[in-house]
Structure 1
Amino acid sequence: MACPFLRDVVDEEALVLRRAFRRERVFRDRLDPLAFPDDHLYERYRFSADGIRYLCRLLGPRIKHRTARSHALSVEQMVCVALRFFASGAFLYSVGDAEQLNKATICRTIRSVCLAIKALADVFISFPGHRRLCDIKEEFYRIAGFPNVIGAVDCTHIRIKAPSGAHEADFVNRKSFHSINVQMVCNADCVISNVVAKWPGSVHDSRIFRASEEVISRISLFLSGEFSGVLLGDRGYGCQPFLLTPFTDPQEAQQAYNHAHARTRARVEMTFGLLKARFHCLHKLRSHCDFSFERS
């Protein structure tokens, strides 16, 4: 039978070894959303710590509370609340439970951040882009050898909850759900250069292109020769000197054109896919929408 003294020594030695190899616990300030590693932040907010800090510097002057009364949220907290909603697309009370805030605070915060982003949209969204035209054309040409392209245009449907009012039926699209039809133009790097997000889901893509004041103003610049390039669109658009569409019944000599056209225009579809994969709120907007946003 082992001696009690030796057993106590062995137990004490094992305890010392466990303490030596135990990883030190790090206590983070839960009121600071950036006090976590990047993988934690990206999983919940779709941005790294540096990306969130950049957004805070950009949006801070527009959303910062003037005082700290009533335990006002910091800029970092407000940005992270909005990003969690954009990333998850969950109900407001679910976002509030995750951020330990009430639903009304979540609603006000998301609205403030959205308005701040909308006010800065024309700084980042500019047609045909912030790069030189020759560089934009070169990037498109590398895809499939299609020359002189400065943008790909298409529309996507963003599902919304049924709006109240007399025009509710206008938002029912051809797939029988309520949506808004959003038109975008992007470059070969999937960078958006034009957005029109104000039309009901029942409106056809070509009508959005024709009726948009911003697009019409750009068309006049195309015709005047200020922008020497073409846009690529699908068969839903009418073929024009500045907007090329595929042949409906291609002959053998036209199949190569259609193939290069499809591969090049696919960048706008990739852009839609990237946006909806990163921000799940675009699968269905659960809030009331203001259909008056257009930037170019």
Structure 2
Amino acid sequence: MASPFVGIPVDLGARIVQGSLRRQRVFRDRSDPLALPEDILYERYRFSSEGIRYLIVLVGPYVGNATKRSRALTVAQRVCISLRFFATGTYLHTVGDAEHISKNTVCHAIRKVVAALNTLLNKFVVFPSFLPAQTVKEAFYQLAGFPKLIGAIDCTHVPLNAPLGEHEADFVKRKSTHSINVQMTCDHQLMVSSVDWLGPRLKDFPGVKSWPTVSARCGAIHKITNCRYDGVIVGDRGYACMTFLITPYGDPQTPSEASFNRALSTCRVKIEMTFGVLKARFNCLRGLRVKPERASQIITACVVLHNIATIRKERTPHVRLVADDVVDPITIDHPTGVAVRRAITAQYFG
């Protein structure tokens, strides 16, 4: 059989054979940050391609270009740059190197996206839930038999690594590290239903300071105390037991009290799980190198993104629960709160 390369120089024939065996290279459009497989998109940005496109449309009116310069970042680039920072928590110059842009450009993009997400806070963080209050109560009751429950409350510390100036001592926690103290409530689906800033130190927890001052600063508590919702929330012994905030017995003496504590713990762990998912999804919350005011904006942005991801059923990171921070237990509970706790125990756990 005659060779198909008769009359063709040997070196050219070899190149033709090699070229026919070599797989054609496909170049990714670097101007399109979504031109990647779904697994890589989630690893980098914590959202699927559809989720990122949703965010682009959502924040587009707030972060769109005010200039027609050819080298200005697109909305998609700004969103992906910000998501990459939230997901990794790395240095801005590292994010810039990965996206082939300068550190200043990264900082400007993140600022715009954070501001946009803060603007959307009240649309995506709703107390007690996006679902009707009765639906939330029924879900918690089916979970542990705890009645009239519309949420769980607790605080978490977000470490701060930036110089804090003259107020540095105000942000020192028990282990001589610096952090900002954030209080949140959640529903049974791990959706954040409120976020409040109670101060940097553990002594600023509700129940330690005068309650009228604290309740005025806490959106969820303020709504319950003003009788907007017929229900209660549960917390740990770092809070005082009140008519609308139920805490466990410090030293249960009867089987009924022990059963009450177990049911309350089963419901309260939802807020611990929420913190775990939030910090696993956005590693920047494990240590922010910004001032407290800026840190509060980034945390709020991450909370909004967490709720969006939950609503859209984005992939949930695996979370391993760890022991809670040690808190100073409240020894003086309000008499009305103690009465409500005893009534719930007698009626549902007796």
Which residue is equivalent to 1:240? Answer: 242
Which residue is equivalent to 2:196? Answer: 196
- Percent identity, aligned pairs only, is 49
Question: Normalising by structure 2, what TM-score?
Answer: 0.75
CA contact (8 A) 1:178 1:201 kept: no
Mapped to 2, the partners of 1:287 and 1:31 lie a distance apart of 29
CA contact (8 A) 1:82 1:110 kept: yes
In structure 2, runs of 5+ residues without a counterpart are: 304-350
Which residue is equivalent to 1:253? Answer: 256
Count the aligned residue pairs.
Answer: 287
RMSD: 2.8
Deviation at 1:208, TM superposition (A): 8.0
Mapped to 1, the partners of 2:291 and 2:95 lie a distance apart of 17
Structure-2 change in CA distance of 1:260 and 1:33 (3 Å): same
Structure-2 change in CA distance of 1:151 and 1:208 (3 Å): farther
The aligned runs of 1:78-157 (5 Å cut-off) are: 78-157=78-157
Deviations 1:50-98 (A, max 9, x none): 0110000000100011223161100000000000000000011111111
Structure-2 change in CA distance of 1:186 and 1:209 (3 Å): farther
Deviation at 1:209, TM superposition (A): 9.7
AA matched with 1:286: R
CA contact (8 A) 2:127 2:193 kept: yes
Deviation at 1:205, TM superposition (A): 2.2
Deviation at 1:130, TM superposition (A): 1.7
1:287 aligned onto 2:290: yes
SS for the counterpart of 1:68 is coil
Structure-2 change in CA distance of 1:65 and 1:43 (3 Å): same
SS for the counterpart of 1:200 is coil
AA matched with 1:189: Q
SS for the counterpart of 2:243 is coil
Mapped to 1, the partners of 2:138 and 2:17 lie a distance apart of 65
SS for the counterpart of 1:167 is helix
Mapped to 2, the partners of 1:51 and 1:208 lie a distance apart of 42
The aligned runs of 1:12-27 (5 Å cut-off) are: 19=20, 23-27=23-27
Which residue is equivalent to 2:318? Answer: none
In structure 1, runs of 5+ residues without a counterpart are: none
The aligned runs of 1:154-173 (5 Å cut-off) are: 154-173=154-173
CA contact (8 A) 1:156 1:183 kept: yes
Which residue is equivalent to 1:37? Answer: 37
Mapped to 2, the partners of 1:125 and 1:165 lie a distance apart of 32
Mapped to 2, the partners of 1:220 and 1:123 lie a distance apart of 18
Deviation at 1:270, TM superposition (A): 0.1
